[in-house]
Amino acid sequence: MSSPSTTARRVLTLRRHLTNSSKQLPAAPATYDWTSHQRRLPRLPLPPLETTIERYLESVLPLHDNEAHQRTVSAARAFLQGPGAVLHAELAERGKSFFFCFLFYFSYSLLTLF
């Protein structure tokens, strides 16, 4: 076992070596504009509404009892057969415009803050 003075010397030598290393990492920039790459990224595909609703129903299944889950399934089917198809088509059409994508990413970034 090393004596305290030997251990202290080793720690000081290691610290001195690490702080005087010539291979220092470059300093990170003060700010980084992460939005500068958005236009070069490929667009994410919009999944079919049926797939989204199926995944939603699978995700809430552990949270519901049978009665609540049946109500959720019937509400999801009504949405799919009613306004869901129209809204999904509009979302797919708007997703082609840059302005809509900007609003989507802006609103999503605000939601992730809370």
Distance CA 24, CA 49 (A): 51
Tens of pLDDT, residue by residue over 26-80, are 666 677 777 777 778 777 778 888 998 999 899 999 998 999 999 999 999 999 9
Distance CA 18, CA 76 (A): 60
Burial call 53-82: b when 16+ CB within 10 Å, e when fewer: beeeeeeeeeeeeeeeeeebeeebeeebee
Radius of gyration of the chain (CA): 27
Residues in the chain: 114
Residue carrying structure tokens 């236009």: 39
Structure tokens at 28: 């990170």
Tens of pLDDT, residue by residue over 37-50, are 777 877 777 888 89
Per-residue model confidence (pLDDT) at position 31: 77
Q: Is residue 41 helix, strand or coil? A: coil
Q: What is the pTM of this model?
A: 0.50
Distance CA 94, CA 39 (A): 16
